[in-house]
A and B are shown apart, each in its own frame.
Chain A
Amino acid sequence: MSTTQDPPRDPMARPARLMKRYEPILAILLAAAMITAAILAPWLRFVLTIALAKGIAVLGILLLLRAGQVSFGHAIYIAFGAYVVAFLAPTVNDAALLLALAAVGAGLLGLVIGAFVTRYRQIFFGMLNLAMSMVFYSLLEKLYAITKGSDGIRVEIMPIAGQALDRVAYEWVIFGIALGIALVVAILLRLYLSSPMGEALAGIKTRETRLEFMGVPARGVLLSAYVMSAVVGGIGGALIALTSRHVTPQLAYWTSSGELVFIAILGGAGGVLGPFLGAATYELVRIYAAASFADAWQMILGAVLLLVILFAPGGLWGMAARAIGGRGR
């Protein structure tokens, strides 16, 4: 029987398959490069910890992209995680415990907000997330008595898992924790994405009604992914607070949410390493551009994104995939 219309027409299928096999090796290389850079220059250690934190949060954007949904408000979970650290640091006084609290707290917030926003799709989904994040931003700004408004809250160096550390040791351990969490979350997510639950999530993008006719609650599948995305957002935010040691409402501002989507597109949504490639590139370009062209760094970032969208729609991950896949042909 003749069953296909034309030859397989997904030019990325082969590189994507190859890339999936190389992913663990690339992850190790990327981690090694980050550790080397952090040893060579202390300021890079700071930048890369932030990049890892953002990369972890962007994994949440990647999850929602699987379902064809874009959240323009996910910085709410970063900000929430960061403020959990800032508020509870004086009483809890342990970074490891605060990370866990931030993850759980953000997950609960994600459950509440997700129960509402997962009723909607596409632009409505994106905008409702934006609206939620802006409400949260306003609260952080306006409730000065609690949040100190736009002055923000300082976070002091604190013990980690019961160990009191000096500043350098503290920064190293936070970097190590960020790297460790990034690896673990990336591995778990990679498993999840090829599981029935993860593939059903991708089914929401292409044929949501079919899921219902298979007895699968599409909204439940999306909501669980949304909660996961909130959890990783909260973890990313907590790491940012522990690293920059100063939290402000700016973390929840819509430009911060845009930044997450920006990094997701820059890195590419095809694999779990994309967000980390994207975040590291983003942070480095931002710092170099800001140092060299103080007034024009946003323009430079904009140009970079434009080039990626026009010439490498699969992002940096997709470029790497083509470089690897192309050679074998």
Chain B
Amino acid sequence: MSEVLLQASGLRLAFGGVKAADGIDLGVMKGEFLAIIGPNGAGKTTFINMTTGYLRPNAGTITYDGRRITGMSPRAIVKLGIARSFQLPQLFVEHTVEQNIALAVASRDGIWSPLTPLLRPRFRDEARDLLGRFGLSAIADTRADALNEGARKLADIAMAVALKPRLLLMDEPTSGVAASEKMEVVETLARVLRDAAVTAVFVEHDMDVVERFADRVAVWSQGRIAALGPPTEVLNDPAVQRDVIGIERHA
């Protein structure tokens, strides 16, 4: 059936005595939405950091589209088509939301033009279109440091989407988004990603979101993958319910 887009094999990374990755083997299929769940400190962010070149594993390899990317710089990895969003949004806080997105659009090929404006029609239109699809048009001219957490989060994801990745890794995309808006936001996001045929990996704490949007779920526990499979199977597994979901509910 579908082919593997990203393959992690035997990833290990320790911080002092803490094993943040303790033998991670995971294949991400082209076109799927893969959710990562697990308690805080399980190593979910570390996996994203290793995949995007921010951290280098002590051992193991990551291949993307058949090509080894372990040890490559974040910059080189982005150029291959892997983008990410952040658990804590990483925006240019002295720029407007529109400028943030336009800069991401420009970074695909137009960053080195020194005499034409960033907000030239081509970049501005694409930024506005994307903001429209994220329902963020109203805050296009707002400075990023004046946004609430939910909007910051969405703008952060929109910046990653503006890079036109083939694989998008999102670290807790719905944390900070108000509970009443969560489903609507994920619905929108899922539509944008499906339209663009983006493969997505997302860390998520809300099991309703996981159940509804993930094709598969990977359960992280102490640097290992404790379970992997379709949401209906994994989320109903008694061990997962006891060890992960129980903890999530109380978190």
Chain A residues near B (Cβ < 8 Å): 1-6, 8-10, 13, 188, 191-192, 194-200, 202-203, 205-207, 209-217, 221
Contacts and interface: CB of A to CB of B under 8 A. Distances in A.
A195 B163 contact: no
Contact of B142 (A8, A195, A202): A8
A5 B148 CA distance: 5
B90 A10 contact: no
Interface in B93-129: 93-95, 99, 102-104, 106-108, 110-119, 123
Contacts of B94: 202, 205-206
B75 A215 contact: yes
30 contacts: A1-B151, A2-B148, A2-B178, A3-B139, A4-B139, A5-B146, A5-B148, A8-B143, A9-B146, A191-B115, A191-B117, A192-B114, A192-B115, A195-B115, A196-B112, A197-B114, A198-B114, A206-B91, A207-B91, A207-B93, A210-B91, A210-B92, A210-B159, A212-B74, A212-B75, A212-B78, A213-B84, A214-B163, A215-B78, A216-B107
The size bracket of the interface on B is 35 or more
A214 B148 contact: no
B237 to A, nearest CB: 34
Give me the 4 closest cross-chain CB pairs, A-B, nearest first: A196-B106, A215-B78, A3-B151, A214-B107
A12 B164 CA distance: 35
Interface of B: 52, 54, 73-75, 78-79, 83-84, 90-95, 99, 102-104, 106-108, 110-119, 123, 135-136, 138-139, 142-143, 146-148, 150-151, 159, 163, 178, 181
Nearest to B145: A9
A286 B108 CA distance: 49
B82 to A, nearest CB: 10
Contacts of A9: 146
A220 B159 CA distance: 21
A67 B186 CA distance: 35
A130 B20 CA distance: 42
Contact of B114 (A8, A195, A202, A203): A195
A196 B52 contact: no
A212 B73 contact: yes
Contacts of B135: 1
Contacts of A192: 114-115
Contact of A209 (B83, B90, B106, B163): B90
A195 B112 CA distance: 9
A199 to B, nearest CB: 5
Contact of B95 (A4, A191, A195, A203): A203
A30 B145 CA distance: 35
B104 A214 contact: yes
The CB with the most chain B CB atoms within 10 A, among A9, A192, A196, is that of A196
Given A213-B54, A215-B78, 15 more contacts: A2-B148, A3-B138, A3-B148, A4-B147, A4-B148, A8-B143, A10-B146, A192-B114, A195-B114, A195-B115, A196-B103, A196-B118, A199-B95, A199-B103, A215-B79
